[in-house]
Amino acid sequence: KDAVLENKDFESIITARNDPQTVVYCDPPYYEAECYTVEFPRSDHQRLHDVLLKCKGHVMVSYNCCPYILELYKEFYIFRTVRPN
Closest CA to 63 of 54, 55, 74, 7: 74
Closest CA to 45 of 61, 23, 24, 21: 61
pLDDT at 19: 94
pLDDT at 15: 96
Q: What angle do CA 40, 84, 78 make, to 5 degrees?
A: 55
Each residue's pLDDT tens digit in the chain (85 positions)?
788 888 899 999 999 999 999 999 999 999 988 777 788 999 999 999 999 999 999 999 999 999 999 999 999 999 998 888 7
pTM of the model: 0.87
pLDDT at 43: 96
d(CA 75, CA 53): 8
